[in-house]
């Protein structure tokens, strides 16, 4: 028998299954010192121990049998489960827009992975239609699995590939693009695409889910419905993130890709626009702009594509009493760009100054962002700030730390591309060119002003807040 | 309406035709005749400080309007691990419910509303569940696997209940038979429903997530009495640990019933065991009636697969005059639909349950699945009509109905009409096949109504948020050493003590055998006397006055110890308990003072007898021996209380009177 018959089992548990010729998906009777157990042997998660056999009993429950209690066992039948999301052909409607859904992984649609015991993505128009039939009323959907990686494994290569594919779709005249993505780094990808795909004629909507679609209360279906509506019918032609507004199944937000951040590890309403309001709210059949100004959908097929990214950038989260060697080692490793996430208005301690001077001397771009998440870097307020600017540290305005990191990688990438195209820069010119790219906002990654309602973190316990929560915050 | 058809007579006649007998008249032969078969799923909340998968406190309940926030969810079916959609899941999806949860910050956190993954399982709860599994002679699993059981009714915001098997294949010993157990699982309790009207359902989350166990028997109980006995046994077993919750809602039963040729129907959430016999009786006969309906229909309809209903929209003007309900329907722009059910004449008014007919099978489902809000229909075989009585002849002509057909008129919001028609058609087709698999909601009067399609094993899914929990051999051994005695042994023990049968339920229900044992060990008191003190005297007090929350059974032990130390006759306890039941914090001395107790010797007590006897003879009209003794007892009873055993006193008086006479 091949190992396939013993999916996930190892060590002692594998030995005993082999000894008694009992396979995964085999119906088995296991006689133990704790009594007789009858059921179907299931695959075991690779990370679990080798002392138990997993079984599904007649009532549908799973149990584990301790192999040390087994007297004997025998296989009485065999039936392999066929796990499949029902696939139906996605219906075509003349009068509906064409939307392309790119899959990158994540939990938009998923099924169980017996190897790890976790959920893995499943994805095709037919499967999606089987799971979320409402999509057929919104658009003509086609899908393409670009890669199948978890959110944390997304990186520059994936950003570039996505940007290029988006460019192709725009060229082919698509009406809107949706990108299914794990939520952990959704905002990194959104920022990267905002810089790589500038001034698109159609909406580009990134979407994920905080609860996998294998659970009835998943936010996946509603997010997908909202995203497809925004992509197919919406007038906002920008790179956006579409996720739950409140935690309730009510409406979604369209966040500008450069100002959005994941703010809670598990809430459905985890994505928030920072320092501004979202661009719009979205419900099925309705998009309500919140911001007056946005890029409108156009008929043309032109887009400015810059799919470049330098991996010689890094980010340092400052902590009190940080030693210069942290920065020194980054310099020695050859990084050309460093984003510092500083305290307060954008500060680090004096111990770092020598390292900052070294960085400046080497032409390394050093940008300052904020641990406070909200607000602007203000390096003129205190002397220390002025000192640092003198040592070459550039304030990044109210750019979010992750966005600054992505943009620095992109800016350096663009400059490297310009060099490849034949331009030549001195070290100082290159530094200045990167700075020009960094500080020229493409789509509000730095805003000129922070509206009063851009910072709303209310505290529970206050009467009027509790009142608001009870009445409105669903 | 066809005047020739008498619905009420048809109901009575069909009731007779299936041989329905009331629960009171029913004999074991009746149950054998219809092949009564039943099993139980006994739910029991465990007594823990915290909930099962988060650190919220357990056992705190709020009023409906005592909440801090609300959230809204919709449920959609997902595939089971084996790749199947569950029937219930699809039905619930059809109902398109908007579910609102009320959250009180004291009792619910982000876990309850599914915005945080589960924390590790509550070990205290797991331990109690293993103990009860051992008591239930179940085979304990080697590893506990948390499983998700889908519930799309919204009673759990995740859309599934986290649950896990602790043991399989056990048994309990009833008076005359052993009953096998399928399994025992630990699970999180669900939300409490506040309301369910149309497409909106409202829940509160205080109970949600509290640890619960479910003991499932095989369907081996063949009369309602056996069923009741098993329910009581399992309840007593759970309570014998002293580690489960008591009170309203802490124990709930799902009762599975079928009759010969019928199918498993689950009566959900029966709150009181005493309702079980009536409910199971009626359910078995409901199924028996449905089989009779099937036979009638099959004789009329040679090819059941080709049976279809006819439906058409009606104008409100089609009625000469509108009843109040129809006016309301018109004013809210409901669509009015006429449905013809070919060959269903006499079926709509066919008996199904006491005062219920087959028409209820349809209206129940319309209410639950199509979310219609009553009143929403009239039909050709009602017992009574809201005036004016509609002219059904007109409508049957309109839809081209045959002589043997029945008609329904219903009204609903336009969006719900299609589901409603499908629901009627589906249920009628099921009638051609027999008894549909379903869960039913129980009412106090012993009848039930449709709740949802019976879910199967297809709704189970491994919980990817939790790792399996090994249950080691040594741990089981250690728990096995400290288990209470089996319930059947407790019965035996009480019989040996000569405890009256009628006292046993109370003793077991309140888990008092260990307490009685302990008291009898420490004091020269008979277990039988103690048993009746609790099950008769204290029970009597409970029926009459309100229990103070500080009163518990241990107080009786303390009181008896106090009396023993003071060398006071224990009988006085029966006069002290009514006071302590309401004022448990009163000190015992004060209670004695209230009763005007004073220490007296036997001689002191008996000293006035001679004088009193003379007095009795003076005043008595009937100076018999017996009367004399009774009167004398009455005179010194008060003083004797606590000083002298009353029956001994009576004997003493008897002796004295004999001497004097």
Q: Structurally, what CATH architecture does the domain formed by A313-439 represent?
A: 3-Layer(aba) Sandwich (3.40)
Residue B489 in tokens: 């042994």
Spatial distance between the Cα atoms of A101 and A79, rounded to a whole number of angstroms: 35
- Tell whether B242 and B317 lie within a shared domain: no
Confidence at residue B84, expressed as pLDDT on a 0 to 100 scale: 54
In Å, how far is A143's CA from the nearest CA of chain B? 21
Confidence at residue B153, expressed as pLDDT on a 0 to 100 scale: 85
- Domain range A98-305, its CATH number among 3.40.50.1390, 3.40.50.1170, 3.90.1150.10, 3.40.50.720: 3.40.50.1170
CA angle B104–B108–B109, rounded 5-degree value: 120
> What's chain B's average pLDDT?
92
Note whether A32 contacts B165, CB cutoff 8 Å. Answer: no
In this structure, what DSSP letter does residue B189 have? -
Which residues from B are below 8 Å from A117, CB to CB?
462, 464
Spatial distance between the Cα atoms of B163 and B189, rounded to a whole number of angstroms: 10
Q: How many domains does chain B have?
A: 4
CATH number at residue B322: 3.30.1360.30
Confidence at residue B4, expressed as pLDDT on a 0 to 100 scale: 62
- Tell whether B213 and B316 lie within a shared domain: no
Nearest Cα neighbor of A198 from A409, A434, A405, A443 is A443
ω before B5 within 30° of 0 (cis)? no
Residues of chain A with pLDDT under 50: 1-2, 114-118
Residue of B nearest to A463 (CA): B68
- Tell whether B386 and B423 lie within a shared domain: yes
Spatial distance between the Cα atoms of B188 and B45, rounded to a whole number of angstroms: 9
Q: Tens digit of pLDDT for each residue in A226-285?
A: 999 999 999 999 999 999 999 999 999 999 999 999 999 999 999 999 999 999 999 988
Spatial distance between the Cα atoms of B523 and B564, rounded to a whole number of angstroms: 7
Taking a C-beta distance cutoff of 8 angstroms, is the pair A431, A361 a contact? no
In Å, how far is A66's CA from the nearest CA of chain B? 4
- Tell whether B572 and B621 lie within a shared domain: no
Nearest Cα neighbor of B107 from B56, B72, B47, B161 is B56
Catalytic residues of A: 107, 183-184, 262
Choose, out of B464, B465, B474, the residue to mutate when testing the contact with A (most A CBs < 10 Å).
B464
Taking a C-beta distance cutoff of 8 angstroms, is the pair B293, B347 a contact? yes
- Tell whether B589 and B637 lie within a shared domain: no
In this structure, what DSSP letter does residue A185 have? T
In Å, how far is A9's CA from the nearest CA of chain B? 15
- Find residues 90-119 of chain B whose CB sits inside 8 Å of chain A: 100, 105, 110, 113-117
Determine, yes or no, domain membership for B276: no
C-alpha distance across the termini of chain B, in Å: 86
Spatial distance between the Cα atoms of B77 and A130, rounded to a whole number of angstroms: 11
Taking a C-beta distance cutoff of 8 angstroms, is the pair A57, B473 a contact? no
- Scan for tokens 């309500």, then name that residue: A288
Determine, yes or no, domain membership for B315: yes
Taking a C-beta distance cutoff of 8 angstroms, is the pair A184, A209 a contact? no
Residues of chain B with pLDDT under 50: 1-3, 81-82
pTM of the model: 0.89
Q: Which helix (H) or strand (E) holds B168?
A: strand B160-173
Buried b / exposed e along B602-628 (16+ C-beta atoms within 10 A): eeebbeebeebbeebeeeeeeeeeeeb
- The reply to whether B165 touches chain A by the CB within 8 Å rule is yes
Residue A374 in tokens: 């909200």
φ, ψ (nearest 5 deg) of residue A75: -90, 130
Q: Tens digit of pLDDT for each residue in A384-408?
A: 888 888 899 999 999 999 999 999 9
Note whether B139 contacts A36, CB cutoff 8 Å. Answer: yes
Which of B392, B407, B434 is at the close of a domain?
Answer: B434
Confidence at residue B454, expressed as pLDDT on a 0 to 100 scale: 72
Q: Is A412 exposed, middle or buried (0-12, 13-18, 19+ CB in 10 A)?
A: buried
Spatial distance between the Cα atoms of A216 and A197, rounded to a whole number of angstroms: 35
CATH of domain A3-78: 2.30.30.520
* Residue partners of A434: CB distance under 8 A and separation at least 6: A337, A365, A408, A411, A412, A415
Alpha-carbon B397 to chain mean position: 47
User: Counting every residue, how long is chain A?
Assistant: 474
User: Counting every residue, how long is chain B?
Assistant: 661
Domain that holds residue B159: 35-264
Residue A251 in tokens: 């409406």
Q: What residue spans define the domains of chain A?
A: 3-78, 98-305, 313-439
Sign of CA dihedral B385, B386, B388, B394: negative
Neighbours of A322 (CB within 10 A): 17
Note whether B71 contacts A61, CB cutoff 8 Å. Answer: no
Note whether B142 contacts A66, CB cutoff 8 Å. Answer: yes
Spatial distance between the Cα atoms of A2 and A5, rounded to a whole number of angstroms: 6
Taking a C-beta distance cutoff of 8 angstroms, is the pair A109, A120 a contact? no
Sign of CA dihedral A438, A441, A444, A446: positive
Residue A197 in tokens: 């795909």
- Tell whether B589 and B608 lie within a shared domain: no
- Tell whether B561 and B590 lie within a shared domain: yes
Q: What is the CA radius of gyration of chain B?
A: 31
Determine, yes or no, domain membership for B467: no
Spatial distance between the Cα atoms of A223 and A144, rounded to a whole number of angstroms: 18
Spatial distance between the Cα atoms of B79 and A235, rounded to a whole number of angstroms: 36
- Tell whether B322 and B367 lie within a shared domain: yes
Determine, yes or no, domain membership for B480: no
Spatial distance between the Cα atoms of B564 and B552, rounded to a whole number of angstroms: 19
ω before B259 within 30° of 0 (cis)? no
B369: three-class secondary structure by DSSP:
coil
Which residues from A are below 8 Å from B72, CB to CB?
248-250, 474
Residue B276 in tokens: 């079980």
- The reply to whether B164 touches chain A by the CB within 8 Å rule is yes
Note whether A217 contacts B114, CB cutoff 8 Å. Answer: yes
Determine, yes or no, domain membership for B189: yes
Taking a C-beta distance cutoff of 8 angstroms, is the pair B404, B342 a contact? yes
- Tell whether B513 and B409 lie within a shared domain: no
A147: three-class secondary structure by DSSP:
coil
Using CA atoms, how far residue B7 sits from A116, A203, B296, B410, in Å, is 62, 64, 16, 19
- Tell whether B346 and B385 lie within a shared domain: yes
Q: Is A472 exposed, middle or buried (0-12, 13-18, 19+ CB in 10 A)?
A: exposed
Residue A288 in tokens: 């309500």
Which of B434, B450, B466 is at the close of a domain?
Answer: B434
Q: Is A474 exposed, middle or buried (0-12, 13-18, 19+ CB in 10 A)?
A: middle
β-sheet with A365-370: strand ranges across: A313-317, A337-342, A365-370, A393-395
Note whether A62 contacts B147, CB cutoff 8 Å. Answer: yes
β-sheet with A52-56: strand ranges across: A70-78, A26-32, A35-41, A52-56, A62-66, B143-144, B469-470
- Enter the ipTM: 0.89
| Common-topology check for domains A98-305 and A313-439 | yes
Taking each helix axis as running N to C, give the angle between helix B473-480 and helix B123-135, from 0 to 180 degrees, rounded to the nearest 10.
Answer: 70
Residue B32 in tokens: 């054998």
A251: three-class secondary structure by DSSP:
coil
Q: Identify the bridge partners of residue A72 per DSSP, sorted by sequence position.
A: A31
Note whether A37 contacts B110, CB cutoff 8 Å. Answer: no
* Residue partners of B125: CB distance under 8 A and separation at least 6: B46, B48, B52, B186, B211
Alpha-carbon B361 to chain mean position: 22
Q: Residue B621: left (phi > 0), alpha (psi -120 to 50), or beta?
A: alpha
Determine, yes or no, domain membership for B622: yes
Sign of CA dihedral A139, A143, A147, A148: positive
Spatial distance between the Cα atoms of B345 and B355, rounded to a whole number of angstroms: 18
Buried b / exposed e along A8-44 (16+ C-beta atoms within 10 A): bbeeebbebbeeeebbbbbbbebebebbebebbbbbb
In Å, how far is A227's CA from the nearest CA of chain B? 18
Nearest Cα neighbor of B252 from B214, B219, B223, B226 is B214
Q: Tell me which residue in B72, B160, B467 faces A216 most closely, judged by beta carbons.
A: B160
- Tell whether B588 and B613 lie within a shared domain: no
- Tell whether B103 and B120 lie within a shared domain: yes
């Amino acid at each position: 028998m091949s190992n396939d018959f013993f999916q996930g089992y190892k060590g002692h548990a594998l030995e005993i299954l082999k000894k008694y010729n009992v396979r995964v998906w085999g119906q088995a009777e296991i006689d133990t010192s704790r009594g007789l157990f009858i059921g179907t042997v299931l695959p075991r998660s690779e990370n679990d121990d080798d002392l138990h056999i997993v079984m599904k009993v007649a009532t549908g429950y799973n149990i584990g049998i301790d192999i040390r209690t087994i007297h004997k066992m025998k296989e009485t039948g065999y039936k392999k489960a066929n796990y499949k999301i029902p696939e139906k052909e996605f219906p075509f409607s003349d009068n509906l827009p064409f939307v392309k859904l790119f899959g990158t992984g994540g939990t938009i649609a998923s099924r169980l992975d017996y190897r790890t015991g976790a959920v893995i993505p499943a994805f095709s128009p037919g499967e999606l239609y089987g799971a979320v039939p409402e999509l057929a009323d919104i658009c003509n959907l086609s899908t393409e699995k670009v890669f199948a990686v978890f959110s944390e494994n997304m990186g520059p290569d994936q950003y570039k590939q996505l940007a290029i594919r988006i460019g192709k779709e725009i060229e082919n005249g698509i009406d809107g693009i949706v990108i299914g993505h794990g939520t952990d780094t959704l905002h990194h990808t959104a920022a990267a695409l905002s810089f790589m795909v500038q001034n698109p004629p159609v909406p580009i909507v990134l979407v994920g889910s905080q609860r996998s679609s294998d659970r009835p209360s998943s936010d996946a279906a509603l997010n997908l419905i909202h995203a497809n509506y925004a992509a197919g019918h919406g007038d906002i032609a920008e790179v956006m993130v579409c996720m739950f507004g409140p935690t309730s199944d009510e409406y979604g937000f369209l966040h500008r890709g450069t100002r959005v951040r994941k703010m809670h590890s598990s809430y459905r309403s985890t994505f928030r626009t920072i320092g501004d309001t979202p661009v719009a709210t979205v419900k099925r059949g309705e998009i309500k702009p919140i911001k007056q100004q946005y890029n409108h959908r156009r008929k043309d097929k032109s887009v400015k594509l810059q799919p470049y990214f330098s991996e010689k950038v890094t980010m340092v989260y400052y902590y009190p009493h940080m030693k210069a060697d942290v920065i020194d080692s980054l310099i020695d490793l050859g990084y050309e760009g460093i984003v510092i996430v500083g305290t307060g208005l954008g500060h680090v301690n004096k111990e770092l100054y020598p390292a900052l001077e070294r960085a400046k001397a080497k032409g390394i771009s050093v940008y300052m962002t904020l641990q406070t998440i909200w607000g602007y870097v203000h390096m003129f307020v205190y002397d220390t700030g002025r000192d640092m600017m003198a040592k070459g540290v550039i304030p990044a305005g109210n750019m979010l730390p992750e966005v600054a990191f992505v943009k620095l990688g992109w800016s350096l990438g663009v400059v490297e591309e310009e060099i490849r195209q034949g331009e030549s820069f001195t070290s100082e010119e290159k530094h200045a060119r990167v700075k020009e790219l960094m500080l020229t906002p493409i789509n509000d990654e730095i805003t000129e002003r922070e509206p009063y309602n851009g910072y709303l973190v209310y505290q529970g316990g206050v009467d009027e807040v509790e009142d608001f929560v009870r009445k409105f915050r669903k | 309406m066809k005047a020739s058809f008498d619905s009420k007579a048809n109901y009575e006649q069909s009731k007779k035709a299936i041989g329905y007998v009331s629960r009171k008249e029913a004999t074991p032969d009746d149950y054998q005749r219809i092949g009564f078969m039943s099993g139980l799923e006994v739910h029991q909340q465990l007594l823990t400080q915290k909930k099962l998968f988060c650190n919220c406190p357990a056992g705190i309940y709020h009023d409906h309007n005592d909440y801090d926030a609300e959230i809204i969810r919709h449920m959609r079916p997902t595939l089971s691990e084996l790749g199947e959609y569950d029937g219930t899941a699809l039905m619930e999806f059809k109902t398109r419910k908007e579910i609102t949860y009320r959250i009180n910050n004291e009792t619910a956190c982000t876990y309850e509303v599914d915005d945080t993954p589960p924390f590790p399982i509550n070990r205290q709860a797991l331990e109690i569940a293993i103990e009860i599994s051992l008591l239930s002679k179940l085979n304990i699993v080697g590893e506990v696997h948390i499983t998700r059981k889908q519930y799309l009714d919204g009673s759990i915001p995740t859309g599934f209940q986290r649950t896990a098997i602790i043991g399989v294949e056990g048994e309990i010993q009833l008076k005359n038979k052993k009953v096998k157990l399928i399994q025992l699982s630990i699970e999180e309790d669900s939300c409490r429903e506040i309301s369910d009207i149309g497409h909106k359902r409202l829940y509160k989350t205080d109970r949600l997530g509290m640890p619960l166990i479910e003991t499932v028997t095989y369907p081996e109980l063949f009369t309602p009495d056996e069923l009741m006995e098993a329910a009581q046994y399992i309840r007593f077993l759970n309570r014998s640990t002293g580690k489960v919750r008591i009170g309203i809602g802490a124990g709930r039963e799902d009762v599975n019933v079928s009759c010969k040729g019928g199918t498993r129907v689950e009566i959900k959430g029966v709150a009181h065991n005493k309702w079980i016999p009536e409910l199971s009786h009626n359910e078995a006969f409901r199924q028996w009636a449905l089989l009779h309906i099937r036979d009638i229909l099959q004789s009329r309809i040679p090819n059941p697969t080709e049976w279809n209903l006819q439906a058409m929209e009606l104008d409100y003007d089609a009625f000469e005059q509108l009843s109040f309900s129809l006016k309301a329907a018109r004013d809210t722009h409901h669509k009015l639909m006429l449905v013809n059910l070919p060959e269903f004449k006499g079926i709509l008014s066919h008996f199904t349950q006491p005062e219920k007919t087959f028409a209820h099978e349809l209206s129940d489902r319309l209410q639950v699945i199509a979310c219609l809000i009553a009143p929403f229909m009239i039909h050709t075989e009602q017992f009574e009509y809201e005036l004016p009585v509609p002219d059904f002849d007109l409508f049957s002509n309109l839809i081209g109905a045959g002589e043997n057909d029945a008609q329904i008129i219903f009204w609903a919001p336009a969006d719900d009409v299609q589901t409603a028609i499908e629901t009627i058609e589906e249920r009628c087709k099921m009638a051609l096949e027999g008894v549909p698999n379903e869960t039913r909601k129980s009412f106090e009067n012993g009848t039930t109504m449709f709740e949802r399609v019976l879910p199967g094993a297809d709704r189970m899914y491994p919980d990817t948020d939790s790792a399996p929990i090994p249950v080691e051999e040594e741990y089981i051994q250690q728990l096995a050493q400290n288990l209470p005695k089996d319930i059947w042994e407790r019965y035996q023990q009480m019989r040996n003590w000569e405890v009256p049968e009628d006292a046993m339920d109370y003793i077991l229900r309140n888990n008092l055998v260990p307490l009685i044992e302990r008291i009898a060990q420490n004091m020269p008191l008979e277990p039988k006397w103690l048993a009746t003190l609790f099950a008769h005297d204290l029970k009597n007090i409970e029926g009459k006055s309100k229990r103070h929350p500080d009163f518990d059974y241990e107080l009786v032990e303390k009181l008896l110890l106090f009396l023993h130390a003071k060398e006071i006759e224990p009988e006085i306890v029966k006069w002290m308990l009514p006071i302590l039941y309401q004022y448990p914090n009163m000190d015992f001395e004060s209670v004695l003072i209230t009763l005007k107790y004073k220490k007296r010797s036997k001689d002191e007590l008996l000293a006035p007898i001679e004088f009193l006897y003379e007095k009795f003879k003076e005043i008595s009209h009937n100076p018999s021996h017996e009367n004399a003794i009774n009167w004398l007892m009455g005179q010194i009873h008060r003083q004797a209380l606590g000083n002298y055993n009353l029956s001994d006193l009576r004997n003493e008086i008897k002796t004295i009177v004999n001497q004097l006479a």
